[in-house]
Amino acid sequence: MLFNSLDFAIFLPIVFVLYWLLNSNLRVQNSFLILTGFVFYGWWDWRFLGLLIFTSGTDYLVAIGLERATSEARRKALLGVSLVANLGLLGYFKYYDFFITSFHEAFTFMGLPFGLRALGLVLPVGISFYTFQSLSYTIDVYRRQLKATSDPITFFAFVSFFPQMLAGPIERARNMIPQFLKPRVFDTAMARDGLRQMLWGLFKKIVVADNCSQIVNMLYADPSAHSGSTMALATVLFAFQIYGDFSGYSDIAIGAARLFGFELMRNFAFPYFSRDIAEFWRRWHISLSTWFRDYLYIPLGGSRGNKAFVVRNTMIIFLVSGFWHGANWTFVAWGAINGLFFLPLVLQDKHRSMLGTVAEGRALPSVRELLMMLLTFAMACFAWIFFRAQSMGEAFEVIGQILSRSLFSMPELPIPRTLAYGLLGIAITLVFEWINRERQYGLQMDGRSVRPVRYALYYGIIAVIILCAPLGGGEFIYFQF
């Protein structure tokens, strides 16, 4: 079920009303959330509900075993069960065909027969997200940073919580399970703020991402047929497409969770206002980058040790992050490029030099800050070429076009109305998010805002969404990951 669909527009109010009618009994209310999560997930393909139930059931039982076990060998064995179950499912559905195809091509190139063939597996929606979320729970219990819950309803509700199940944020049990264990009282201010954030997320998805995607898809379908300036424009539009798409999903998820009394972690913190690539990665897909930091980078040794050790750990994190996004060498290249951009900052101990908000306390950035933001954005766009391309050959084809003399020609302006709507959406997004860059999201307001002004903004945003919505708005990009 898509957040930008009529199905969800009907589903959400019904669930909201029934949920708060059940607030006299916490166990029944949590059970209802499990049911709604299963309906939400099964709306796409009910057959994959078995995977969600298997993941949840396995980690629930493993965590209880970890809580009771006294032998370290037994605890490690139980953790191994969780790792194999979660990563095994993820690897089979997401990477089996990729590795088989890669081996087949390599052996064929060497003139050797290779018997196995790809199975054409369908990737279950959200599997990369809910397996990581569930796996973090068993790791925390193994580390004794969290006590295992003995209530299966609480744990299943945590894994199957519908607002963030399909594309994050990838929540931590330490944040969410306590919220499922305490009674929740409807908070009008929290619900209003949630609706505002949902509206902002829908704006970024429909006006920015969906309009930009139509231009990007057309131009990237045949890069060699377009000038360098046109492909540069397409790449910039893709940068805003993926931001509007993914941060838009996160805003809708966080806002929807607030309607039900839950606070999810922030997933985006205005990353295109970053002054270096390290700051960009602290602000982009925060739930995934912190997951890799906590469960891979630090266990590998983090920044402790000599420079070679730090280089190794940094590149492992970025390569794994790239591979997490998809079974294609383009994603691995995307991760490697970001790692190479990141390394100079780490080696000079400058990767935490930009911790504050850009132009804090000022209306506009300095010239130096502006140039730093533009350079960081250009670096991110270069890496996005590999993320968007269908193959390494296509990525190099796009780069070749951009670096040709045609870069200095006037770009083509395909589908003028759609392009205008997309550029309008980008402009509005940048203005609102710059003004609110010290807050949680672009449309956030406090009680001091004049009520008529607030409502004029809301209705204005709704009008822009209705007027600029393209035909055939699609799924969220991260559903494929």
CA distance 390 to 238: 14
311 contacts: CB under 8 Å, gap ≥ 6: 343, 346, 347
407 contacts: CB under 8 Å, gap ≥ 6: 227, 228, 229, 232
> Per-residue DSSP letters for 166-198?
TT-----HHHHHHHHHS-----HHHHHHHHHHH
372 contacts: CB under 8 Å, gap ≥ 6: 275, 276
- Return the percent helix, strand and coil in the chain, to nearest 5: 70, 0, 30
Cis ω for the linkage preceding 365 (within 30 of 0): no
Q: Which of 57, 220, 74 is nearest to 142 (CA)?
A: 74
> Per-residue DSSP letters for 273-308?
G-SSHHHHHHHSSHHHHHHHIIIIIHHHTTT-S-HH
CA distance 68 to 116: 43
Tell me the two tokens of residue 394: 């296509």
Return the active site residues: 325
Handedness of CA 143, 144, 150, 155 (dihedral sign): negative
CA distance 377 to 243: 12
Is 90 in contact with 128 (CB distance < 8 Å)? yes
Q: Which of 480, 394, 422 is nearest to 214 (CA)?
A: 422
Q: Please count the CA atoms within 13 angstroms of the CA of 365 that sit on its side-chain side.
A: 16
Is 165 in contact with 129 (CB distance < 8 Å)? yes
Is 316 in contact with 332 (CB distance < 8 Å)? no
Q: What single-letter DSSP state applies at residue 407?
A: G
Tell me the two tokens of residue 295: 């469960």
> What's the residue count for the chain?
481
